[in-house]
Structure 1
Amino acid sequence: MTRDLRRDLYAAGAAVLLVTAAVLIGHHIQHTHHTLRVDWPPLLGSWGPHVGPGTPAAVVVAVATVGYGPALAARLPWRALLAAAWGTATAWILSLALIDDWQRGVAGRLTTRHEYLQVIDRFHDVPATLRDFTHHILLESPDNWPAHVAGHPPAATLTFVLLDRIGLRGGGWAGTWCVAVGAAACVAVLVAVRALADEGLARRAAPFLVLAPAAVWMGTSADAYFAAVAAWSVALLALAVTGRRVRSGALGSGLLFGLTCYLSYGLTLFALVGAAVLLLGRGRVRERPEVLVLLLAGAAVVPTAFTLAGFDWWEAYRLLVTRYHQGAGGIRPYGYWVWANLACTVLITGLATAAGLRRTGATLRRHRGESLARPDDPRRSGADARLALLVAAALLALLVADLSGMSKAETERIWLPFALWLLPACAFLTRPRVWLAAQAALALLLNHLLLTGW
């Protein structure tokens, strides 16, 4: 066994210990103090071993991806690889969701009392509802919004309102939207990694992005949809700063980043990932300053539209913080969740990512003080370091969200957008099939042993 592989196993073992501690200590706190507000800490879910109609399909997708994924990712033409990644990710997410059957796993997810579809009828006059949105955030306000509606800017709810208006009504269509769009997030990450690092690293990362344990919560959480929007904002910026799509990429990235901020308050932290992309492409940005101009112009569109419609983002966020502390956020102990959230991250990204992050840190240390070559340099030197920097930026954003205290529990869903950008660290690993098998086994065990809350 090589020294690097031994260290990878140590990192994976440390991740197992973190999860074990979170489970054991969490169960003790919940059973004695009842303050965690989750039934199976650190996850929102309950113990309930089961199988369902999605079980055979999930096993087939897992076995096929482990067996053939790395080889196909290495050989397929690039565009065919992207299509295969999206299709396989969709199949993986949907088959896992169907383990809980169609109603509980897909159609009923977004129709519960906390979810967006509960308020579709209240948006019959969209401009008036936007002007009045902040008046229903606090718990004591009249007709207060359900938890997820109050907890997000109105673009999140408006997405499902628009689906309803075009005839795609009900939880089945809403769930299908989240699965199909959410699966496209892995394609965006691959596009960004290829542009900023190199194609070889993107190809090695592809099977891990497809077979992510995060798929358990991507079907059918709205956060999967948010993750895709955020991911494509980064991917388009990567194309802009590497000269592939300078103007359209910068403008499109800005538009999607503006939308991201009106889908979830916490995803403003994606500015850290965007800053890493700009740093990696700083040479192109200096040569083509219109990249920044178009990026900022695009980013202003959605906020301007909502502000003119009468929605005050800052006031809504202030009220949300108050509501958060009025409810579970004011009860759940920060001292537990500030580290147990990281155990949730292990469960959604897998042991392979823990090992990959160890290699990411080693890569950054190895290249410390070196000047990174431009990502559009045909010599492509320093690709490992560029990928490591991109992954580190996503990890930093996640840690800031953790330390903020506004993410206490349920991060297996809330942090999906950040988690997807940690998975490319698996491109640094050797023996990919072994690590992929561990990823698939974790997802299958979680989905079959627990009745997850999302």
Structure 2
Amino acid sequence: MTPRSRYADLSAASAAVLLVLAAVLVGRHIQDTRRTLFVRWPPLFAVWDPHLGPGTPAAVLVAVAVVAYGPSVAARLPWRGLLLTAWATALAWTWSLALVDGWRRGVAGRLTTRNEYLTVIGRFHDIPATLRDFTHHIVSGAPAPWPAHIAGHPPAATLTFVLLDRIGLRGGGWAGAWCITVGATACVAVLVAVRALADERLARRAAPFLVAAPAAVWVGASADGYFAAVAAWSVALLALAVTGRSVAWAAGSGLLFGLTCYLSYGLTLFALIGVAVLVLGRRRVRERPVLLPVLFLAGAAVVPVAFTLSGFDWWEGYRLLVTRYYEGVGGVRPYGYWVWANLACSVLLTGVATVAGLRRAGAVPARRRTAPRAEVRLALLVAAALLALLAADLSGMSKAETERIWLPFAMWLLPACALLPRPRVWLTAQTVLALALNHLLITGW
């Protein structure tokens, strides 16, 4: 690592810290004087409340272990063993951070508050009838309007928790455990995709950063962690399909992409990441120019067709959501603040190491002739994720709470950390940030 590149990394990280500081100070002023942000600790939807909890010792232990042994263990383990270890460590990290707030406040009560999914389980006693009637309760002036999260998402999100309830996994504890357990697999999906599209060395270097990301603060326990995993596996299976593995993976990828679009309207932007995967696997696509797209589209049609036949109109739901969004705080929150403060939220979500990694990824095209081919391919993948995140930002439909909403995109920025030298230094910064956020704030949703 040359002194110049080290200086550039530190400059990028410092700029990110200044962006967060500006978002805090400007946001505090706007909220104190105008009361238009509707967050108590801008730019995060959180409350200042320094505290310790039962998960504190475990969180510190996991952080120390990942910093001390993560890079070396990731380099030595057999590939399948690495994937299993990554999932287990991500589970330990996410659970311990969630339990810093205690079982009720950190896990079991997260999805039972007035705007969350479990509050409407009783309204789904007749699922087909509820799906047919779903769009009639989205706008605020409708009879019995849905709470914010139910109205803000297609019904597959709520239906997930309805089905958990139906099979006996009732209550906030099981719902929180579902989101954490499934959400922790997102790091495995990203590793699979990076290995397939770039190379195994970069995937191994990225593993500790994916496992111990500050994003785990919001994976445990929010439904967006679950959404992130579904979207991530859609990309991972597509990566397997276009890199010489069985093209049958394309059908599974399509199925999960269709589900992703019915979990969150905004995650249709994952199509941008999918396009990047197709570009990286264009040789395989040219070999199977008909079969691969047909399998993907056939899989992608399953969920939309099922919901459409059940009576839910996705386009009508999105149109009404836009109306609902601007009826409420979304119409009051100032775009001029959130369009850049959202990016400060992303710094807190992904950490300063990711900012430095993105700087290195951005520099790869300038030295394309000398850069390793795998690094060029990784840079394209994270650039697609960044483009999707920026599109969500500019849309104006993500003003605030993006530390949770953008979890699916954030997972695909983290692999940029594989380009960083001295990983233990950067891992220390990542884990300290996560511990500080979880111990100084009570995060919302």
Please state which band the TM-score falls in when normalised by the shorter chain: over 0.9
Partner of 1:269: 269
2:47 counterpart SS class: strand
Letter in 2 for 1:301: V
Letter in 1 for 2:78: P
Q: 1:100 and 2:101 equivalent?
A: yes
Q: 1:441 and 2:442 equivalent?
A: no
Q: 1:40 and 2:41 equivalent?
A: yes
Partner of 2:4: 3
Letter in 1 for 2:58: A
Displacement of 1:183 in angstroms is: 0.2
- Cα distance in 2, alignment partners of residues 303 and 407 from structure 1: 24
Displacement of 1:186 in angstroms is: 0.1
Partner of 2:281: 281
2:263 counterpart SS class: coil
Letter in 1 for 2:402: T
Q: Which of 408, 414, 424 lines up with 2:399 in the alignment?
A: 408
Q: Contact (CA 8 Å) 1:364, 1:389: kept in 2 or not?
A: no
Partner of 2:260: 260
2:400 counterpart SS class: coil
Partner of 1:378: none
Letter in 1 for 2:109: G
Partner of 2:63: 62
Partner of 2:170: 169
Partner of 2:133: 132
| Greater shift in the superposed pair: 358-367 or 303-312 | 358-367
Q: 1:30 and 2:31 equivalent?
A: yes
| Greater shift in the superposed pair: 430-439 or 292-301 | 292-301
Q: 1:385 and 2:370 equivalent?
A: no
Letter in 1 for 2:320: L
User: Percent of aligned pairs with the same residue?
Assistant: 78
1:46 counterpart SS class: strand
CA offsets 1:219-270 (integer angstroms, 9 cap, x no match): 00000000000000000000000011211x1000000000000000000000
1:162 counterpart SS class: helix
Q: 1:350 and 2:341 equivalent?
A: no
- Cα distance in 1, alignment partners of residues 103 and 368 from structure 2: 49
Give the TM-score, by structure 1 length.
0.97
Q: 5 Å matches for 1:316-331?
A: 316-331=317-332
Q: 1:453 and 2:428 equivalent?
A: no
Displacement of 1:288 in angstroms is: 1.1
Displacement of 1:297 in angstroms is: 1.0
Letter in 1 for 2:355: A
Displacement of 1:364 in angstroms is: 2.2
**5+ unaligned residues in a row in structure 2: which ranges?**
none
Letter in 2 for 1:281: G
Q: Which of 418, 422, 436 lines up with 1:427 in the alignment?
A: 418
Give the TM-score, by structure 2 length.
0.99
Q: Contact (CA 8 Å) 1:212, 1:439: kept in 2 or not?
A: yes
Following TM superposition, the consecutive aligned residue runs of length 4 or more in structure 1 with deviations greater than 6 angstroms are none
Q: 5 Å matches for 1:114-193?
A: 114-193=115-194
Partner of 1:397: 388
Q: CA RMSD in A?
A: 1.0
- Cα distance in 2, alignment partners of residues 261 and 252 from structure 1: 14
- Cα distance in 2, alignment partners of residues 364 and 143 from structure 1: 53
